Chain A
Amino acid sequence: MSDRDRGDDASLVSRCVAGDISAFEELYHQHSGRLYSLTLRMLGNAADAEDLLQEVFLTAYRKLASFKGASSLGTWLYRLAVNACLDHLRSRSARNDLRTDSLDRAEAPRIGARDPAMVPTRFDLERAIRQLPPASRSCFVLHDVEGFEHHEIASMLGIAVGTSKSQVHKARMKIRAKLVGASAPTTDRAGRASQPGETP
């Protein structure tokens, strides 16, 4: 983060804290795209994602006065949003799913030549992500979309590193099955059921 960004953040924050709603609107327009993408992909549906986005910005508004500028405003907001997503997922039945590495296995690898249509369009990929079960979806989004490491995801979600890996793998396999429209046989080896001792 450059000094100039830091200065811009600081002045935007102080205008917001002073009650300037247009400053908050500016902050919203700067950051809502990234945060909405995160909430949408993590939660898998637009209505929940919008509610959560609103909640994140309201929380940010209430807490802005305590923003110390140790990180960039974007990072601070992003952390609020990740936490809100995790909290949302934890509060749902996703908890069991996340911890027990649910029984359904990834679709088996498809035998045969490479499907030339496999290069996924953005639209198809977004839709396939939405259709994932919550546990694989959150691990996949955090790892492959957001770029977190497995050990970071493990500590965020309170799961074992191996569980994060197997959920990400399961998600990729399911996405592949969706994208190639394969109805694969169930001779699965790649699904990698959870190892003993994977629960924290």
Chain B
Amino acid sequence: MMGHELSCSAVDDLLVDLVDDALDRALAAQVEQHVASCPRCRSLVGDLREIRQAASTLPPVPPPPHVWPRLRAALEAERADPFHSTRPTARLRRAVGLAHGRPTSESKGRLLPAWGRMAAAAALLVVAISAGLWSLWVSREQAEPLRATRTEAGDRRAQDLVATVESEIALAAEHYEKAIAGLEEAARASGTELDPDVMATLKTNLALVDQAIDDSRRAVRDQPDNLVAQASLLDAFRRKVTLLQDTVALMREVRLDRSAMPAGLNEG
């Protein structure tokens, strides 16, 4: 296709391989011969080799000093969030038929600190709620054998606890729902949302739990001393918080998997 006399344009077509030292020896010799006698090509090849050489010896650029304090703060926020690594339960995974690591979302580092703080606040609420649930459970267990002689004061205490827990649960739910809305928005903005089927399943489950909460709440109102109704109300609350936590964890997991392990490179 080309004779001994290479043209400048023929050299141009071989430049990338020439600079990469990827030409076979015979062709390379022909090109070098042309380059040696042609000022235009000599200048070009010299420059490109210069650039390649300079690029391969660029020294590292240290990150600006404010990056570590910011990272450290993000780490601490994450450590303060006791369920940051909470993975969606197997039950939820089955329910939504989630394939692991489905690439659906972009990760955005600057969302993390804000999210970390919100999660930490919600976590504190959950701790408070759990303590409330636990003490109610204890009082119920203690009350059980004494059913015949239970006092009105004891009933009131249980009622008060239900009211306290209910308001705390509402706050926690608000936090989680905000977190979910924020994650949904970020996913939408990046054009990569959670699978719509997954979201639909989560919303159906949430609606079912809300229905159970309403039913139990009615039962407790009708029969204030019905321990079974109280227990199912608390159980429904607990399921709601778990479901919201699972949803947040699921969305985070999809984002993290996407950011950490795209195709192409494997971890060592």
Contact = CB atoms under 8 A, between A and B. Distances in A.
A54 B51 CA distance: 30
B58 A54 contact: no
10 smallest CB-CB distances across A and B, nearest first, come from: A71-B268, A55-B109, A144-B55, A51-B109, A190-B12, A33-B60, A36-B63, A169-B16, A114-B43, A91-B106
Nearest to B266: A79
A125 interface: yes
Interface string A34-52: 1011001100001001111
Given A53-B71, A90-B262, A118-B47, 9 more contacts: A33-B60, A33-B62, A37-B60, A51-B110, A59-B259, A87-B106, A114-B39, A126-B58, A190-B13
Nearest to B112: A58
A76 B268 contact: yes
B15 A190 contact: yes
A58 B56 contact: no
Interface of A: 19, 21, 24-25, 28-29, 32-34, 36-37, 40-41, 46, 49-55, 57-59, 61-63, 67-68, 70-72, 75-76, 79-80, 82-84, 86-88, 90-91, 109-115, 118-120, 122, 125-126, 129, 140, 144-145, 147, 150, 155-158, 165-166, 168-169, 172-173, 175-176, 179-180, 189-190, 192
Interface string B42-68: 111011101110111011111110011
A88 B107 CA distance: 8
Given A70-B268, A114-B47, A156-B265, A54 B15 contact: no
Contacts of B147: none
A59 B44 contact: no
A163 to B, nearest CB: 12
B267 A76 contact: yes
Contacts of A21: 72, 75-76
Given A109-B40, A118-B50, A176-B48, A189 B12 contact: yes
A102 B138 CA distance: 69
Given A37-B61, A83-B265, A155-B264, A147 B43 contact: no
